[in-house]
Amino acid sequence: MEYLIDVCHKHGVATIVHAITDGRDVGPQTGIGFVARLHEYCQTRNSHIQSIIGRYYAMDRDNRWERVAKAYDLFVKGQGQVVSNPIG
């Protein structure tokens, strides 16, 4: 991820990140650490985190539309909880 952000920054292109956190292969609370580092990294490179959602919603394997709909509404309609700081 950092490489892509750096290339965009080098060429004067702002980067918008739509983060999908894991929680399956790592502990359910580890995403906050990844998001915190990404947020800090983006602040110095004309980039920002636009959205954050978990894999439970964005990549549901059980064909439960009520889960996937949350990710769809976030990415397509911009519907979700708005916060000023993604880590707190």
- 85 within domain boundaries: no
- 86 within domain boundaries: no
- 20 within domain boundaries: yes
Residue environment code for 54-78, b if the CB has 16+ CB neighbours within 10 A, otherwise e: bbbbbebeeeeeebeebbeebbeee
Domain count, the chain: 1
Are the C-beta atoms of 43 and 15 separated by less than 8 Å?
no
Q: Print pLDDT tens along the chain (88 aa).
A: 788 899 989 999 999 999 998 766 777 778 888 899 999 999 899 899 999 998 888 988 888 999 999 999 999 999 999 998 888 7
- 83 within domain boundaries: no
- 63 within domain boundaries: yes
pTM of the predicted model as reported, rounded to 2 decimal places: 0.82
Domain that holds residue 32: 2-77
